[in-house]
Amino acid sequence: MKPFDYVRSHDAAGAAEAVAQGGSFIAGGTNLLDLMKLEVMTPDKLVDIGRLNMNEISATDDGGLRVGALVTNSDCAAHDTVRRDYGVLSRAILAGASGQLRNKATTGGNLCQRTRCYYFYDPVMPCNKREPGSGCHAMNGFNRIHAVLGTSEACIATYPGDMAVALATLDADVEILSAEGKTRSVPVRDFHRCPGDEPEKDNVLEPGDLITAVTLPPARKGSHFYRKVRDRSSYAFALVSVAAIINVEDEKIASAALAFGGLATKPWRDPEVEEVLIGERPSLELFEKAADILLADAKGQGSNDFKIPLARRTLTAVLAEGCGMEAPL
């Protein structure tokens, strides 16, 4: 591991200013420390924000919920209001990582986790996300876990998280404090970036930007689901995941919110998939139509071709369950 300076911050503005001058925030460190050990990330300075006052969950004036950036994944998933009104979020968090990691991982850090692409984690291999312009070895390499949506010629790395997929379904916002002391709010669905020709930029954060909280709107009607298809039942990243909130009234789908993990370079939400469902009577034919829209631009790279039919089956099964139908075999 490359030597680095360590600074413990006592206020958010000071932390943001310190990182803007060169460095990285550290809180739980569940992803950053691994990357530093491999020298994939080599910050000159770590700014410890773990003691800042950002570890509370509180109600908002409009009836929603504000989750501080330092709230651990375990505390968020176990919170009474989250479990009752935002069940998809609790289920998604509990589907990710291990209990030990959830006890350390934070809300803000979870949003900023890096891809688990094999080639990104190996400094010997070319990787445009790690070293822009060096190439993408995954294109013609072992790409079984890689993305089929939102890719570019520069990168096919999959976004690995679960929490952000649920937050996209919930229309959550990310509160951000800049190094200049200005605050802004960005919808979770717009926080992460597709690689385009700048795969090194995972999200919209600028140098020194500090996530201070995630805000959830008032709870929406419907049943909450999070289905994660993976190679083993615990501590594995999604091959395909679906976060869903489905509300059926008078035998028709009154509302639907759907987001997908494991498929794309960012948490994936396609409004057209939801629009085709709303106002319609549930049927397998309707669910297939929604899957057609979702996967219209999907592109496999060989080893990950199986994700396309797997996503179709997973979406159909979730919609069937959400509408009280028997899921197809």
Question: Which of 63, 94, 93 shows the shortest CA–CA distance to 81?
Answer: 63
Q: Is residue 280 part of a domain?
A: yes
Q: How far is CA 311 from CA 11, 248, 287, 305, 306, in A?
A: 44, 23, 12, 11, 9
Intra-chain end-to-end CA distance of the chain, in Å: 49
CATH assignment of the domain containing 264: 3.30.390.50
Q: Is residue 275 part of a domain?
A: yes
pLDDT tens over the chain, length 329 residues:
999 999 999 999 999 999 999 899 999 999 999 999 999 999 999 999 999 999 999 999 999 999 999 999 999 999 999 999 999 999 999 999 899 999 999 999 999 999 999 999 999 999 999 999 999 999 999 999 999 999 999 999 999 999 999 999 999 999 999 999 999 999 999 999 999 999 999 999 999 999 999 999 999 999 999 999 999 988 899 999 999 999 999 999 999 999 999 999 999 999 999 999 999 999 999 999 999 999 999 999 999 999 999 999 999 999 999 999 987 76
Query: Helix count (H) and strand count (E) of the chain?
Result: 12, 11
- Domain extent at residue 288: 223-322
Q: How many domains does the chain have?
A: 1
- For the sheet with 183-187, list strands across it: 57-59, 65-68, 210-216, 173-177, 183-187
Q: Is residue 269 part of a domain?
A: yes
- What is the residue type of 3? P
Q: Is residue 126 part of a domain?
A: no
Q: Is residue 270 part of a domain?
A: yes
Q: Is residue 285 part of a domain?
A: yes
Q: Is residue 228 part of a domain?
A: yes
Q: Is residue 258 part of a domain?
A: yes
Gap between the Cα atoms of 279 and 296, Å rounded: 22
